[in-house]
Structure 1
Protein backbone atom coordinates (compact mmCIF):
# COMPACT_ATOMS: atom_id res chain seq x y z
CA UNK A 1 0.00 0.00 0.00
CA UNK A 2 1.07 3.48 -0.71
CA UNK A 3 0.63 6.67 1.23
CA UNK A 4 0.58 8.74 -1.94
CA UNK A 5 -2.73 10.40 -2.63
CA UNK A 6 -4.13 9.32 -6.00
CA UNK A 7 -5.23 12.09 -8.27
CA UNK A 8 -8.60 11.18 -9.81
CA UNK A 9 -10.60 13.42 -12.12
CA UNK A 10 -13.77 13.09 -14.18
CA UNK A 11 -14.17 14.53 -17.69
CA UNK A 12 -16.34 14.13 -20.79
CA UNK A 13 -14.59 12.06 -23.43
CA UNK A 14 -15.62 14.64 -26.03
CA UNK A 15 -13.52 17.32 -24.31
CA UNK A 16 -10.08 17.66 -25.89
CA UNK A 17 -7.34 15.51 -24.36
CA UNK A 18 -4.83 17.39 -22.22
CA UNK A 19 -1.41 16.36 -21.00
CA UNK A 20 -2.68 17.12 -17.49
CA UNK A 21 -5.24 14.28 -17.82
CA UNK A 22 -2.69 11.62 -16.93
CA UNK A 23 -4.03 8.15 -17.70
CA UNK A 24 -7.27 8.55 -19.67
CA UNK A 25 -9.74 5.77 -18.86
CA UNK A 26 -13.04 5.48 -20.70
CA UNK A 27 -15.57 3.99 -18.27
CA UNK A 28 -18.53 3.68 -20.66
CA UNK A 29 -19.87 0.30 -21.76
CA UNK A 30 -20.58 1.63 -25.27
CA UNK A 31 -18.19 3.52 -27.52
CA UNK A 32 -19.13 7.24 -27.64
CA UNK A 33 -20.99 8.24 -30.81
CA UNK A 34 -19.06 10.16 -33.41
CA UNK A 35 -15.71 9.86 -31.65
CA UNK A 36 -12.75 8.37 -33.48
CA UNK A 37 -10.60 6.10 -31.34
CA UNK A 38 -7.43 8.02 -32.13
CA UNK A 39 -9.09 11.28 -31.03
CA UNK A 40 -9.97 9.82 -27.62
CA UNK A 41 -6.27 9.33 -26.70
CA UNK A 42 -7.19 6.55 -24.28
CA UNK A 43 -4.88 4.73 -21.93
CA UNK A 44 -7.56 2.12 -21.25
CA UNK A 45 -11.18 1.37 -22.11
CA UNK A 46 -12.56 -0.16 -18.94
CA UNK A 47 -16.07 -0.98 -20.14
CA UNK A 48 -16.50 -3.74 -17.55
CA UNK A 49 -16.69 -1.13 -14.78
CA UNK A 50 -19.67 0.67 -16.33
CA UNK A 51 -23.22 0.20 -15.10
CA UNK A 52 -24.95 -2.88 -16.46
CA UNK A 53 -26.98 -2.46 -19.62
CA UNK A 54 -30.23 -3.01 -17.71
CA UNK A 55 -29.35 -0.39 -15.09
CA UNK A 56 -28.13 2.10 -17.68
CA UNK A 57 -31.31 1.72 -19.72
CA UNK A 58 -33.53 2.00 -16.64
CA UNK A 59 -31.75 5.18 -15.50
CA UNK A 60 -31.90 6.83 -18.92
CA UNK A 61 -30.12 9.88 -17.44
CA UNK A 62 -33.33 10.87 -15.67
CA UNK A 63 -32.38 13.15 -12.76
CA UNK A 64 -35.49 11.94 -10.88
CA UNK A 65 -33.88 8.47 -10.76
CA UNK A 66 -30.41 9.74 -9.79
CA UNK A 67 -30.45 8.80 -6.09
CA UNK A 68 -31.69 5.28 -6.78
CA UNK A 69 -29.28 4.88 -9.70
CA UNK A 70 -26.35 5.79 -7.45
CA UNK A 71 -27.33 3.17 -4.86
CA UNK A 72 -27.89 0.45 -7.47
CA UNK A 73 -24.67 1.20 -9.35
CA UNK A 74 -22.68 1.18 -6.09
CA UNK A 75 -24.05 -2.31 -5.43
CA UNK A 76 -22.88 -3.40 -8.89
CA UNK A 77 -19.44 -1.89 -8.29
CA UNK A 78 -18.97 -4.12 -5.24
CA UNK A 79 -18.78 -7.09 -7.64
CA UNK A 80 -16.27 -5.58 -10.08
CA UNK A 81 -12.99 -6.58 -8.43
CA UNK A 82 -10.85 -6.94 -11.56
CA UNK A 83 -11.76 -3.61 -13.17
CA UNK A 84 -11.29 -1.87 -9.79
CA UNK A 85 -7.85 -3.47 -9.45
CA UNK A 86 -6.90 -2.22 -12.92
CA UNK A 87 -7.97 1.28 -11.93
CA UNK A 88 -6.05 1.03 -8.64
CA UNK A 89 -2.89 0.08 -10.54
CA UNK A 90 -3.20 3.18 -12.71
CA UNK A 91 -3.90 5.38 -9.68
CA UNK A 92 -0.69 4.17 -8.04
CA UNK A 93 1.20 5.52 -11.06
CA UNK A 94 -0.32 9.01 -10.94
CA UNK A 95 -3.24 11.05 -12.19
CA UNK A 96 -6.20 9.24 -13.73
CA UNK A 97 -9.04 10.89 -15.60
CA UNK A 98 -12.28 8.92 -15.83
CA UNK A 99 -13.96 9.63 -19.16
CA UNK A 100 -17.65 9.34 -19.95
CA UNK A 101 -19.82 10.24 -22.92
CA UNK A 102 -23.07 11.43 -21.31
CA UNK A 103 -24.16 15.01 -21.92
CA UNK A 104 -25.26 15.46 -18.30
CA UNK A 105 -22.20 16.49 -16.33
CA UNK A 106 -24.02 16.30 -12.98
CA UNK A 107 -25.80 12.92 -13.28
CA UNK A 108 -23.52 10.26 -14.75
CA UNK A 109 -21.97 7.00 -13.67
CA UNK A 110 -18.38 8.30 -13.77
CA UNK A 111 -19.20 10.60 -10.85
CA UNK A 112 -20.65 7.67 -8.92
CA UNK A 113 -17.55 5.61 -9.69
CA UNK A 114 -15.22 8.37 -8.48
CA UNK A 115 -17.27 8.71 -5.29
CA UNK A 116 -17.26 4.94 -4.78
CA UNK A 117 -13.47 4.90 -5.07
CA UNK A 118 -13.15 7.76 -2.56
CA UNK A 119 -15.41 5.94 -0.11
CA UNK A 120 -13.51 2.67 -0.55
CA UNK A 121 -10.25 4.46 0.14
CA UNK A 122 -11.56 5.86 3.40
CA UNK A 123 -13.01 2.51 4.54
CA UNK A 124 -10.19 0.14 3.71
CA UNK A 125 -7.04 2.16 3.36
CA UNK A 126 -6.54 0.05 0.22
CA UNK A 127 -4.47 0.77 -2.86
CA UNK A 128 -7.25 3.25 -3.52
CA UNK A 129 -6.64 4.57 -0.01
CA UNK A 130 -6.55 8.33 -0.17
CA UNK A 131 -9.56 10.35 -1.22
CA UNK A 132 -9.27 11.45 -4.84
CA UNK A 133 -10.50 14.73 -6.13
CA UNK A 134 -13.66 14.34 -8.14
CA UNK A 135 -13.52 17.85 -9.50
CA UNK A 136 -13.73 18.08 -13.28
CA UNK A 137 -10.36 18.10 -15.02
CA UNK A 138 -9.53 21.24 -16.95
Structure 2
Protein backbone atom coordinates (compact mmCIF):
# COMPACT_ATOMS: atom_id res chain seq x y z
CA UNK A 1 0.00 0.00 0.00
CA UNK A 2 1.40 3.41 -0.98
CA UNK A 3 1.19 6.62 1.01
CA UNK A 4 -2.18 7.47 -0.61
CA UNK A 5 -4.36 5.85 2.04
CA UNK A 6 -2.07 6.76 4.88
CA UNK A 7 -2.45 10.54 4.95
CA UNK A 8 -5.43 12.09 6.72
CA UNK A 9 -6.40 15.64 7.63
CA UNK A 10 -8.28 16.77 10.78
CA UNK A 11 -8.76 19.68 13.14
CA UNK A 12 -6.47 19.68 16.16
CA UNK A 13 -9.52 20.33 18.36
CA UNK A 14 -11.09 17.00 17.34
CA UNK A 15 -10.47 13.97 19.53
CA UNK A 16 -8.01 11.48 18.04
CA UNK A 17 -9.66 8.53 16.34
CA UNK A 18 -8.51 4.92 16.41
CA UNK A 19 -7.36 5.18 12.77
CA UNK A 20 -5.42 8.46 13.12
CA UNK A 21 -1.98 6.91 13.47
CA UNK A 22 0.67 9.57 14.15
CA UNK A 23 -0.86 13.05 14.48
CA UNK A 24 1.26 15.96 13.25
CA UNK A 25 0.36 19.61 13.85
CA UNK A 26 1.25 21.56 10.69
CA UNK A 27 0.48 25.12 11.85
CA UNK A 28 3.18 27.74 12.36
CA UNK A 29 1.36 29.21 15.37
CA UNK A 30 0.40 27.10 18.39
CA UNK A 31 -3.41 26.60 18.55
CA UNK A 32 -5.34 28.55 21.18
CA UNK A 33 -6.56 26.64 24.19
CA UNK A 34 -4.35 23.61 23.57
CA UNK A 35 -1.72 22.59 26.12
CA UNK A 36 1.71 21.55 24.86
CA UNK A 37 1.22 18.00 26.16
CA UNK A 38 -2.30 17.59 24.69
CA UNK A 39 -2.58 14.22 22.89
CA UNK A 40 -4.64 15.81 20.10
CA UNK A 41 -1.47 17.48 18.84
CA UNK A 42 0.99 14.63 18.48
CA UNK A 43 4.16 16.09 16.97
CA UNK A 44 4.48 19.77 16.04
CA UNK A 45 6.11 20.29 12.64
CA UNK A 46 5.90 24.04 12.15
CA UNK A 47 8.70 23.87 9.57
CA UNK A 48 6.18 22.71 6.94
CA UNK A 49 3.70 25.50 7.68
CA UNK A 50 3.25 28.31 5.15
CA UNK A 51 5.33 31.44 5.65
CA UNK A 52 3.81 34.27 7.65
CA UNK A 53 3.59 36.37 4.49
CA UNK A 54 1.74 33.67 2.54
CA UNK A 55 -0.61 32.96 5.43
CA UNK A 56 -1.44 36.66 5.82
CA UNK A 57 -2.00 37.07 2.08
CA UNK A 58 -4.28 34.02 1.88
CA UNK A 59 -6.47 34.57 4.97
CA UNK A 60 -8.42 31.39 4.07
CA UNK A 61 -10.18 33.10 1.20
CA UNK A 62 -11.66 30.24 -0.89
CA UNK A 63 -11.18 32.28 -4.07
CA UNK A 64 -7.42 32.39 -3.43
CA UNK A 65 -7.06 28.68 -2.60
CA UNK A 66 -5.65 27.48 -5.93
CA UNK A 67 -3.00 30.21 -5.98
CA UNK A 68 -2.28 29.60 -2.29
CA UNK A 69 -1.77 25.89 -2.99
CA UNK A 70 0.67 26.64 -5.81
CA UNK A 71 2.66 29.18 -3.76
CA UNK A 72 2.72 26.87 -0.75
CA UNK A 73 3.96 23.96 -2.87
CA UNK A 74 6.77 26.23 -4.11
CA UNK A 75 7.70 27.08 -0.52
CA UNK A 76 7.88 23.38 0.33
CA UNK A 77 10.00 22.44 -2.69
CA UNK A 78 13.30 21.98 -0.79
CA UNK A 79 11.92 21.63 2.73
CA UNK A 80 13.77 18.93 4.73
CA UNK A 81 10.78 18.55 7.07
CA UNK A 82 8.61 17.51 4.11
CA UNK A 83 11.00 14.64 3.44
CA UNK A 84 10.69 13.62 7.10
CA UNK A 85 6.89 13.61 6.81
CA UNK A 86 7.16 11.38 3.74
CA UNK A 87 9.27 8.91 5.72
CA UNK A 88 6.75 8.99 8.55
CA UNK A 89 3.90 8.30 6.12
CA UNK A 90 5.71 5.29 4.69
CA UNK A 91 5.76 3.81 8.19
CA UNK A 92 2.02 4.07 8.82
CA UNK A 93 -0.99 6.35 8.97
CA UNK A 94 -0.30 10.07 9.48
CA UNK A 95 -3.01 12.58 10.36
CA UNK A 96 -2.07 16.19 9.62
CA UNK A 97 -3.84 18.43 12.11
CA UNK A 98 -4.53 22.14 11.98
CA UNK A 99 -6.48 24.67 14.04
CA UNK A 100 -8.12 25.97 10.87
CA UNK A 101 -11.90 25.63 10.73
CA UNK A 102 -11.99 25.10 6.95
CA UNK A 103 -9.71 22.08 6.78
CA UNK A 104 -10.49 21.41 3.10
CA UNK A 105 -8.92 24.75 2.07
CA UNK A 106 -6.06 24.67 4.57
CA UNK A 107 -2.35 24.07 4.31
CA UNK A 108 -2.99 20.61 5.78
CA UNK A 109 -5.12 19.70 2.74
CA UNK A 110 -2.44 20.96 0.34
CA UNK A 111 0.27 19.15 2.27
CA UNK A 112 -1.73 15.90 2.28
CA UNK A 113 -2.15 16.11 -1.48
CA UNK A 114 1.59 16.70 -1.95
CA UNK A 115 2.46 13.76 0.29
CA UNK A 116 0.05 11.47 -1.57
CA UNK A 117 1.53 12.40 -4.95
CA UNK A 118 5.12 11.51 -4.24
Equivalent residue for 1:129? none
Superposed displacement of residue 61, structure 1: 0.7
Give the 3-state SS of the residue equivalent to 2:74 in structure 1.
helix
* CA deviation map 1:79-134 (0-9, x unaligned): 21x10121122112210000011011221111011111222x2xxxxxxxxxxxxx
1:102 alignment counterpart: 100
Aligned-residue RMSD, C-alpha: 1.4
Give the TM-score, by structure 1 length. Answer: 0.78
Q: Deviations over 1:15-49 (max 9, x none)?
A: 01123210010010010111122334443211000
In the superposition, the TM-score normalised over structure 2's length comes to: 0.90
**How far apart, in 2, do the equivalents of 1:106 and 1:41 lie?**
19
Q: Is 1:115 equivalent to 2:90 in the alignment?
A: no
Moved over 4 A (4+): none
Count of aligned positions: 116
Partner residue of 1:132? none
Give the aligned partner of residue 14 of structure 1. 13
In our comparison, the structure showing a higher alpha carbon Rg is 1
3-state DSSP of counterpart to 1:9: strand
1:48-79 CA-to-partner distances (Å, cap 9, x unmatched) read: 00100100011011112111111111111112
Q: Is the 8 A contact 1:13 1:40 kept in 2?
A: no
Alignment of 1:71-110 (within 5 A): 71-80=70-79, 82-110=80-108
